[in-house]
Structure 1
Amino acid sequence: MVPSNDRDGGNTGNTGNDDKVHYPKVVLVTGACRFLGGYLTARLAQNPLIDTVIAVDAIAPSKDMLRRMGRAEFVRADIRNPFIAKVIRNGDVDTVVHAAAASYAPRSGGSAALKELNVMGAMQLFAACQKAPSVRRVVLKSTSEVYGSSAHDPVMFTEDSSSRRPFREGFAKDSLDIEGYVRALARRRPDIAVTILRLANMIGPAMDTLLSRYLAGPLVPTMLGRDARLQLLHEQDALGALERAAMAGKAGTFNIGADGIIMLSQAIRRAGRIPLPVPGSGVWALDSLRRANKYAEISRDQYAYLSYGRVMDTTRMRTELGFQPKWTTAEAFDDYVRGRGLTPIIDPNRVRSLEGRVIALAQRWGSRNPIPWGGVDRFG
């Protein structure tokens, strides 16, 4: 189920500088069989300012997705194949949105196949863009995972921040490599406006992500003594940001995330799940619980995220890109809970009511037993 469009996708309307913007005429979107690529294609196909939308993927989208794409043209092509250059050249494409990067490995091949799909595909695509004189802007869907997660992180990551430790492998490493390739394209073709969107962890009724699966199980293992700070992004706001970037042609790197944060413990309560605190090393031994809860093997980077979380500064998103998400982090998470129809194991309302009574009791106790001025609190 896809959320209704009453709050659809953030601000993609005009800003004060839009009278100088040359809107795209022919847009190519990769990853058409995935949620973001498919629904972005559908959005762009509804925009009368765009003449042609070309959707590309190695496998065909579902019949429902093809119907949603409307007037968009679907081309079955693997971006790792040089044929993609012919598609761009023959289509006279001026804007390319690369939304095909996957964060989880295919069923066969594991991490090696994932790296081949992500990195080699991006290299071939950007090489094709470099050779095509018609291309004037490239939008890359990247991820906040490039910042990593650790106990020594800043309060908020800016676009100039970097991970506290180098990545040796995994999706974050692949994403940094892909960003490097698209920046190389910008240096070789300064006439191409390159936009990099570092999306916060996405959530919503329709997207299937590690976080959505992790929080859907009845028991949610948590790291003992740690409570991650989560900044999320509603799936429809992710689409809105990609659409805005494709239309605006604003070069640069932008953090894309919702306002506000929630703690992992709050998210578990709001979903009505039962937390299962375990020692950090114990998480790696919970294979049977992971299978029962239907979420994938937790990698080292994902383990760090669930331990510490990640929060980004999104000033550039609002002031330079001209985009403002419609959902806050808490609202996005609540929409995920509603949309998935999660049956609470523990009623969140009862938990909140109990918390309220405990706080009120503590306040009353404090007012009746004040600490004398100049006195010492026994718990201080």
Structure 2
Amino acid sequence: MDTKVVLVTGVSDSFATLVARSLADDPAVGKVVGVDTVLPSGDLTGVKFVRADIRTPVIGKVIAVEDVDTVVHLDLSPQMRGRGGGKELNVIGSMQLLAACQRSSTVSKFVLGSSTAVYGASPRDPALFRESTSARGGTKSGFPKDISEVETYTRGFARRRPDVLITTLRAASLLDARHFSPMAQYLRSAVLPAALGYDPRLQFVHVQDLLEIIVESVRHDRPGTFNVAGDGVMMLSQVARRLGRPIVPLPALGFAGAARRVLRAVGSDISPDLHRLLMYGRVVDTTALREIFGFEMTYTTEQIVDQFRSAIRPGVLSVVGGRT
């Protein structure tokens, strides 16, 4: 097997750092180049770090100079700060990256770290979202809109460069005490605001499963779009009881603003995109991941919650890495 030159975006995020280091340790990978505008706080042993902004044409120069043949795009995240900066990073940055890949004569594989947020969250949602299912609502703003646009641009890139193999991984909420995610931040709060009359169905993904799936996508050819989530479903009320967190019921009308005020009062915060998920929930079908991609998830949603509960007991450190 020819060794690969892999570019990983967003490596200042703790999970992306983990991906880059794992790829650097893989004998099938000759070199890993990690790019970001911020120097990672984690260990990047074996990874060549390049301070570069994917929103600028310099990313094309990095791809050309390093002879990159595989791009792993992980620089996509819900932003806890203002939406302007988030949209610019998620959408404009992805557009610039895809344009650089289109011009490249060496890039032959593109792995997109997408999200199940692409399906939105609404009262009209099906019981299970399959990869072919369209969103029913909740994708007109914020991160769900961003990720929908990024996937649209990626499909356009696929039409213009049919020679490039593309793997799109739509991951459920990452729940791990060592890595930042909006859901993890919410569930770490002393109290959990919830919409009165709603008990959403939730799924989570374990960091090790998601890591192995991304590495597998780089090492082998796994074209297509795949939902990634731990088996099983838990209601928000079940998760709260398991974690020992009291639920604060709030009126559904104006829930987003009220939830933010409650959480800020106890020293926490909530992503502006999370409130719809906390009302309507979201469950995805992972049959394609199992039968086509060929990966069996190791951790169920319930096991992921149990591990998270053990990690956030008193005395355990807060989330490290990641963008806040």
Same structural fold, with TM-score higher than 0.5 when normalized by the shorter chain: yes
2:293 paired with 1:314? no
Match of 2:24 among 40, 45, 49: 45
Q: Does 1:78 align with 2:50?
A: no
Q: Provide the C-alpha distance between the structure 2 equivalents of 1:143 and 1:82, rounded to a whole number of angstroms.
A: 26
Hey, what does 2:205 align to over in structure 1?
Answer: 233
Alignment coverage as a number of residue pairs? 314
Note if 1:152 corresponds to 2:124.
yes
Task: Note the C-alpha offset of 1:297.
Answer: 4.2
Structure 1 residues 133, 163: closer, same or farther in 2, change over 3 A? same
Unmatched runs of 5 consecutive residues or more in structure 1: 1-21, 344-380
Question: Following superposition of structure 1 onto structure 2, how do residues 184-203 of structure 1 map, counting pairs within 5 Å?
Answer: 184-203=156-175
- Cross-structure match for 1:25: 4
Equivalent in the alignment of 1:117: 89
CA contact (8 A) 2:185 2:270 kept: no
Aligned to 1:170: 142
Match of 1:136 among 100, 105, 108: 108
Establish whether residue 95 from structure 1 lines up as the match of residue 95 from structure 2: no
Q: Report Cα offsets for 1:207-262 as digits up to 9, x if no partner.
A: 22221222222221221121110111112222222112122221111101110011
Structure 1 letter corresponding to 2:39: A
Work out which of the two has the higher radius of gyration on C-alpha atoms and give 1 or 2. Answer: 1
Query: Alpha carbons of 1:27 and 1:309: their partners in 2 closer, same or farther (altered >3 Å)?
Result: same
Identity of aligned residues (%): 40
Q: Which amino acid aligns with 1:74?
A: F
CA contact (8 A) 1:24 1:94 kept: no
Structure 2: distance between partners of 1:113 and 1:33? 16
**Post-superposition offset of 1:182:** 1.2
CA contact 1:123–1:181 (8 Å) conserved in 2: yes
- 1:286/1:95 Cα in 2 relative to 1: closer, same or farther (>3 Å)? closer
Distance 1:239 1:292, change over 3 A: farther
Q: TM-score, normalised by structure 2?
A: 0.92
Which AA in structure 1 matches 2:158? Answer: A
Contact kept in structure 2, 1:24 and 1:246, CA below 8 Å: no
Q: Is the 8 A contact 1:210 1:295 kept in 2?
A: no
Q: 133, 137, 145: which one pairs with 1:161?
A: 133
What code does the residue aligned with 2:59 have?
A: I
When residues 286 and 157 of structure 1 are mapped into structure 2, their CA distance, relative to the original with a 3 A threshold, is closer
1:308 CA displacement: 1.8
- Matched residue type, 2:263: R
Equivalence for 1:179: 151
Instruction: Specify which of 265, 277, 281 is matched with residue 292 of structure 1.
Output: 265
- TM superposition shift of 1:83: 1.1
Aligned CA RMSD, in angstroms, stands at: 1.7
**How far 1:120 sits from its partner (Å)?**
0.8
**Cα 1:181/1:99, change in 2 over 3 Å:** same
Cα distance in 1 between the residues matched to 2:143 and 2:254 = 23
**1:51-72 Cα deviation digits (max 9, x unpaired):** 111111111111xx2x3x3222
Residue 23 of structure 2 is aligned to residue 61 of structure 1: no
The TM-score, its normalising length taken from structure 1, stands at 0.79
Runs of at least 4 residues of structure 1 off by over 3 A?
none
Q: 1-side partners of 2:254 and 2:36: how far apart?
A: 40
Alpha-carbon offset, residue 141 of structure 1: 0.6
Structure having the larger proportion of residues in helix: 1
Provide the C-alpha distance between the structure 1 equivalents of 2:93 and 2:189, rounded to a whole number of angstroms.
Answer: 34
* Cα distance in 2, alignment partners of residues 136 and 298 from structure 1: 35
Letter matched to residue 76 of structure 2: A
Sort the Cα spacing of 1:282 and 1:120 in 2 relative to 1 into closer, same or farther, 3 A: closer
- 1:334 and 2:296 equivalent? no
Name the counterpart of 1:14.
none
SS in structure 2 at match of 1:51: strand
Please report how far the alpha carbon of residue 34 of structure 1 lies from its aligned counterpart in structure 2 after TM superposition. Answer: 0.3
Deviates more, 1:323-332 or 1:165-174: 165-174
